[in-house]
Amino acid sequence: MSARLFSEKSTVFHALLGIGVFFSISAIGELAGIALVDVPAMFMVALLITLYILSARKEHKAPYGIVVWGTVFYLALRTKETTLAA
């Protein structure tokens, strides 16, 4: 559903590609090794994508959207820098 928000030219191929990436997440986790440090960063990236999709649904008309997006982007960078493995 959200692929249409990025481009009106999205096809079934793009949907199948997204499903393939979704089901390959476990394989990526096995190959990447210990990703404990990356979990907060991955959460922030997922939050950034969610905010972008919500903004795209409103056709980027919310004036505060860029402030929220920039704040989350800054926090995502800071999270990656300061998170240490136990």
Q: What is the pLDDT of residues 24-62, one digit of tens each?
A: 877 766 776 666 667 777 787 788 888 888 887 777 787
Q: Give one word for 65, left, alpha or beta, with left for phi > 0 and alpha for psi -120 to 50.
A: alpha
pTM for the model stands at 0.53
Report pLDDT for 86: 45
Report pLDDT for 3: 63
What is the percent of the chain where pLDDT is above 90? 0
Half-sphere exposure (Cβ direction) of 45: Cα atoms closer than 13 Å: 6
